[in-house]
């Protein structure tokens, strides 16, 4: 048999994210209607859909912009007028000192993580390994397996702080965290998928200062964050400094099909992404920039985020939290403090395996995601791996209510059975 390449061997086994995506797809493509409280798909909000339909009408009727979006390969760093519009928005709205030379587009932000984590992590010229460090587990499943060189990811246990009878928060354990010459980059999702944790400005400042001392880039994954889509429920502020790389995305606005990720970074990183884009994709798809540019330039996109998107998710979040506390609080459930994104992270401080709970819920017609997928790069034992689930509140309020009712019922049965 022909010897396999290293790349082939690396990606031969199924990865956590592939396993999960297939499982979710199977659950949803069957004959039975499932209550979808899993997956990372944004909700379908009529006001947002109408807004984007209006932008599409405008694009179609605006001289030859539609034809250009379909018919022209853009610059390998992404459509230049769009990059200018993004830079202007970030400068005006967030006060960041950036220009178009700080912006590169990618085919969805997932693609940006693959590129960045292999640019900054992996084997170095001197034979040593540069790690991508996640300062606090749990973290986004999409980081799992992105390192072409196995073992690149390194994650640290969090501090678990109990807030009241029903809630808790993970915090970066700065005593434990190690950032040193083996660190290629530090990465954090803010707000965090899966926990909804929105690391405070102060905690982020402390993390940034540690990174700066060691000259290590800090990657902030703002797929749910500020300035857009802005699914943030506290008063934290957007963060970008020298040595930071911030990743934004159009997906959680309701546009995951457009596959548009936005990297905000120092020019040397931007020019490397440009080179990689031309190898992987020639250039990125033009429809995302074409559809969204006008609303970025005239401010209407941010307005929609603030008036429609954020309040919608806040309402859904409040409903879910209230129902969960009332129904499961007495069964040992704690909910991670929800600072943003559209997920709740449920920790059962009780004798219950969430892998089994996941199976039982699937049988009962409810899809959630078992917590075990969200520990990329974590070697330590941590009983939260099989004590937590991620619940999405991105669907309509009826689905959320019915799904949570079932969750309460099934959890009760499981706990009863384990006595």
Ligand X SMILES: Cc1ncc(COP(=O)(O)O)c(C=O)c1O
225 touches ligand X by CB under 6 A: no
Of 105-113, 174-182, 284-292, 321-329, which part binds ligand X (CB under 6 A)?
105-113
Among 230, 261, 285, 377, binds ligand X (CB under 6 A): 261
- The Cα 232–Cα 310 span in angstroms is 7
Q: Which residue number has the CB closest to ligand X?
A: 108
Rounded to a whole number of angstroms, the minimum distance from the CB of residue 189 to ligand X is: 4
Of 62-70, 107-115, 122-130, 228-236, which part binds ligand X (CB under 6 A)?
107-115
Torsion angle in degrees (nearest 10) through CA of 158, 354, 416, 343: 70
Q: Is 348 exposed, middle or buried (0-12, 13-18, 19+ CB in 10 A)?
A: buried
Cα 33 off chain centre by: 26
Find out whether 284 and 277 touch, Cβ atoms under 8 Å: yes
- Residue 181 CB neighbour total at 10 angstroms: 10
221 touches ligand X by CB under 6 A: yes
Rounded to a whole number of angstroms, the minimum distance from the CB of residue 109 to ligand X is: 3
Among 77, 142, 147, 377, binds ligand X (CB under 6 A): 142
Find out whether 323 and 404 touch, Cβ atoms under 8 Å: yes
Total residues at the site for ligand X (CB under 6 A)? 14
Among 79, 102, 110, 295, binds ligand X (CB under 6 A): 110
Residues in 50-69 at the binding interface with ligand X, rule: CB under 6 A: none
Rounded to a whole number of angstroms, the minimum distance from the CB of residue 313 to ligand X is: 14
DSSP state of 36: E
Rounded to a whole number of angstroms, the minimum distance from the CB of residue 190 to ligand X is: 9
Among 137, 183, 249, 295, binds ligand X (CB under 6 A): 249
Among 251, 283, 399, 411, binds ligand X (CB under 6 A): 251
124: left (phi over 0), alpha (psi -120 to 50) or beta: beta
376 touches ligand X by CB under 6 A: no
Return the number of the residue (65 or 317) whose C-beta is nearest ligand X: 317
Return the number of the residue (225 or 352) whose C-beta is nearest ligand X: 225
* Alpha helices (runs of H) in 230-309, residue ranges in sequence order: 267-280, 287-297, 300-304
Across 122-201, the runs of DSSP E, i.e. the strands, are: 122-123, 129-134, 153-155, 159-162, 167-171, 183-189
Rounded to a whole number of angstroms, the minimum distance from the CB of residue 110 to ligand X is: 3
223 touches ligand X by CB under 6 A: yes
411 touches ligand X by CB under 6 A: no
Of 57-65, 104-112, 166-174, 359-367, which part binds ligand X (CB under 6 A)?
104-112
The closest alpha carbon to 247, from 55, 107, 93, 40, belongs to 107
The closest alpha carbon to 321, from 138, 163, 165, 167, belongs to 167
- The Cα 37–Cα 43 span in angstroms is 11
189 touches ligand X by CB under 6 A: yes
- Torsion 112-116-119-121 (CA) sign: negative
- Residue 130 CB neighbour total at 10 angstroms: 21
140 touches ligand X by CB under 6 A: yes
Rounded to a whole number of angstroms, the minimum distance from the CB of residue 106 to ligand X is: 8
- Identify the bridge partners of residue 333 per DSSP, sorted by sequence position: 348
Among 79, 155, 167, 193, binds ligand X (CB under 6 A): 193
Rounded to a whole number of angstroms, the minimum distance from the CB of residue 143 to ligand X is: 8
289 touches ligand X by CB under 6 A: no
295 touches ligand X by CB under 6 A: no
Task: Dig out the tokens for 215 from the structure.
Answer: 């000259």
- One DSSP character per residue, 102-135 reads GEEEEESHHHHHHHHHHHHSEE-TTS-EEEEEES
Return the number of the residue (115 or 130) whose C-beta is nearest ligand X: 115
135 touches ligand X by CB under 6 A: no
277 touches ligand X by CB under 6 A: no
Among 256, 267, 329, 332, binds ligand X (CB under 6 A): 256
Which residues of this protein are in contact with ligand X, per CB under 6 A?
A: 40, 108-110, 140, 142, 189, 193, 221, 223, 249, 251, 256, 261
């Amino acid at each position: 048999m022909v010897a396999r390449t290293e790349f082939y061997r690396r990606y031969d086994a199924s990865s956590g994210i592939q396993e999960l995506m297939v499982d979710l797809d199977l659950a949803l493509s069957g004959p039975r209607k499932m209550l979808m409280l899993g997956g990372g798909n944004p909700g379908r909000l009529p006001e947002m859909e109408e807004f984007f339909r209006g932008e599409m009408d405008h694009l179609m009727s605006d001289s030859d912009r539609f034809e250009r979006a379909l018919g022209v390969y853009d610059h390998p760093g992404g459509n230049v007028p769009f990059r200018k519009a993004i830079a202007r928005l970030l400068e005006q709205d967030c006060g960041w000192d950036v220009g178009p030379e700080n912006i590169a587009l990618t085919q969805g932000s997932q693609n940006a993580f693959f590129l960045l984590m292999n640019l900054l992590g992996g084997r170095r010229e001197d034979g040593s390994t540069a790690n991508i460090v996640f300062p606090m587990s749990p973290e986004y499943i999409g980081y799992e397996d992105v390192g072409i060189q196995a073992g690149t990811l390194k994650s640290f246990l969090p501090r678990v702080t109990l807030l009241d009878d029903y809630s808790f928060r993970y915090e970066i354990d700065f005593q434990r965290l190690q950032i040193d010459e083996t660190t290629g980059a530090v990465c954090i999702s803010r707000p965090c998928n899966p926990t909804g944790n929105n690391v405070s400005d102060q905690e982020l400042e402390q993390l940034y200062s540690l990174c700066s001392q060691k000259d290590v880039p800090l990657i902030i994954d703002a797929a749910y964050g500020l300035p857009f889509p802005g699914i943030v429920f506290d008063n934290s502020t957007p963060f970008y400094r020298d040595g930071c790389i911030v990743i934004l995305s159009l997906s959680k606005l309701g546009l995951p099909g457009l596959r548009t990720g936005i990297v905000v970074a120092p020019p040397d990183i931007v020019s490397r992404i440009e080179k990689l884009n031309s190898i992987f994709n020639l250039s990125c798809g033009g429809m995302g920039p074409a559809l969204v540019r006008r609303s970025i330039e005239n401010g209407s996109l941010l307005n929609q985020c603030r008036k429609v998107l954020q309040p919608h998710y806040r309402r859904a979040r409040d409903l879910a939290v209230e129902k969960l506390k009332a129904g499961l609080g007495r069964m040992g459930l704690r909910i991670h403090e929800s600072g943003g994104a559209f997920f709740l992270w449920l920790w059962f401080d009780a004798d219950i395996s969430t892998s089994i709970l996941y199976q039982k819920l699937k049988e009962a017609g409810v899809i959630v995601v078992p917590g075990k997928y969200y520990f990329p790069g974590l070697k330590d034992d941590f009983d939260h791996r099989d004590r937590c689930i991620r619940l999405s509140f991105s669907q309509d309020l009826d689905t959320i209510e019915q799904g949570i009712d079932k969750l309460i019922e099934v959890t009760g049965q499981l706990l009863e059975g384990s006595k």
